[in-house]
Structure 1
């Protein structure tokens, strides 16, 4: 195991009594913070969501045009 534990070493902590206890009214030190991100997360690309919105917009326009053409009788299917 190469990682050190997050708790402070009792022999190097001031105000501890023999055996590792604390005097009445004293507060022992907190443990170190070990949660959270280890490095910043990369920003997601903005190109793909825009491309999907454009593609969906084109499909909606084509589908709407197809329905209007069917309604006006311009397309003779069947």
Structure 2
């Protein structure tokens, strides 16, 4: 099994010429990929924007659970003091 070499092949490097490195301006056209078009249309289309805030049912459920937890600890404290 031959280990893979993470370094690129220098003969496939854009602008490579035998005998040494080249200046960036010496890279012939067509050897480098075109520049990116921009980032204005890169994400998904946000066509569904829910309204801000909580709906009534989840908010009510959270408040009921919180009230039950508080009532439990108050009852436990009262029972602890009485006993």
TM bin (shorter chain)? 0.3 to 0.5
Structure of greater relative contact order (alpha carbons < 8 Å, 6+ residues apart):
1
What's the TM-score once normalised by structure 2's chain length? Answer: 0.34
